Amino acid sequence: MQDAPTSPQSEAAYDETLLIRDARKEDEELLLGRARGYRVEKVIGRGSFGAVFLARDGEQLQRVIKAVEVQRAKPSHSVHQEVAVMKCLRHPHIIRFRDSFIEKDLLCIVMDFAPAGDLLLRVDAARRASKPSLPEEQTVQWFVQAVAGVKYMHSLCIIHRDIKNENLFLESEVHLRIGDFGLAKRLKRVTEIFVEQQIVGTPLYLSPEVCAKGMYSAASDLWALGCCLFELCSLSLPFEAMNLPSLLVKITSMTTPPRPSGHCSEELADICAWLLTKSRQGRPTAIEVFQHPFLRAIADEAIRRRPKAVEAVDVAAAAEPEVVPGGYPKRREDCLAKKSRVAFGTPGPCAGPEDAALRAGPEDQAARSTSRPRSLSPDSQSPSYEGLQAAARLGVAGLSEASLREVLPETW
């Protein structure tokens, strides 16, 4: 990259060149998708590998266009995987895929727009208003809809891997849709467990088995749902810390499932603790959560009111698991005696363009009271497990954040 000039005159010329370049780029972005009948209205989100636009289609309906620079995204197949996953999902509580196309080295994904924002905005607004929690009736309604979407995904052997309140979008105050499938993965069977060498997801919502061994399964999504429910009930997350190593120590060393501290019913607190069971096998499946007596009546009413979900075609049927208590198959590695140890996950830079378009405007986003690490993806430069463990030891020893950065280049 060419160094910026140092003299005042050359600096002014350099700045002017940058402004002209940015202006031309913005003009080109406004023409994105024009040949396919889309008219971009504005940019509403940017990431490491692209941007998110609010647009209108040929019928003047608002859509979101997520444009990813395929050449810069590594591995590029993860971008195409998002399209493949979204194409086969058709459910009232999942953001609807509409179209995809390639234009000027950009892979563009067109999806529905959720104008009412996301659940994290609701949490932050309640916190700023000094409320103890969100109304339980509304919380339960949102939660049941989120569980319905996850249950549908898992029935198609798809796991999300980045469920959080920031990705639970509101089409209206009473209609929730799950979005941002950039980290979703297709499994061979619903009970499959696989290990990633580099962790993906949002650290505050990572399950103990993901933090410890990078072990992903459908149970990881249920843990994340538990974190979402906890946050809606108490306006705080079950595990929070000043730095990453401390956070991961809390997650991996917890013994008793945390319970929400807000004003919620015992039944809802029990469901939250059930989802936040440390053992993967002890957690319920989405089907079991849906069948919980406290939620069943609400779920039945929601099913009665909503349009029937259109099942995806050409998708392998989910294999029937060998059910054990908790709903997940018993695995040999969980029976082996384990030495007492602590292993850790990883934070990282922004994972690229998110479905930021489905949130409220910049003013509301700026008012968010939480400063959170972004999602990790294979595209981000995540440290290895060895580096994570070394950083965790430094963190436990109480060393400064500057010392941690020597081992972990990207933290919060």
CA torsion sign for 214, 215, 217, 223 is negative
Is residue 380 exposed (0-12), middle (13-18) or buried (19+ Cβ within 10 Å)?
A: buried
- Just list the catalytic residues: 162
Share of the chain above pLDDT 70, in %: 65
What is the distance between the alpha carbons of residues 207 and 216, in angstroms, rounded to a whole number?
9
- In DSSP terms, 82 is beta-bridged to none
Max Cα–Cα distance, the chain, nearest Å: 73
Q: Which residues contact 210 (CB under 8 A, 6 or more apart)?
A: 199, 201, 216, 220, 345
**Under a CB-based contact definition with an 8 Å cutoff, are residues 232 and 146 in contact?**
no
Average pLDDT over residues 332-354: 30
Rg (CA), the chain: 22
* 66 annotated as a binding-site residue: yes
- The tokens 């849906």 sit on which residue? 290
Helix/strand/coil for 111: strand
What is the distance between the alpha carbons of residues 12 and 224, in angstroms, rounded to a whole number?
49
Highest mean pLDDT among 15-19, 31-35, 175-179, 251-255: 175-179
Domains identified in the chain and CATH numbers: 29-112 (3.30.200.20), 119-407 (1.10.510.10)
Read off the pTM.
0.73
Q: Which residues contact 186 (CB under 8 A, 6 or more apart)?
A: 81, 84, 85, 157, 158
Kindly report, residue by residue over 98-138, the tens digit of the pLDDT. Answer: 999 999 888 999 999 999 999 999 999 999 999 988 999 99
Comparing CA positions, the residue from 188, 185, 182 lying closest to residue 196 is: 185
| Whole-number pLDDT of residue 412 | 31
Highest mean pLDDT among 126-135, 156-165, 355-364, 378-387: 156-165
Lowest mean pLDDT among 111-125, 254-268, 354-368: 354-368
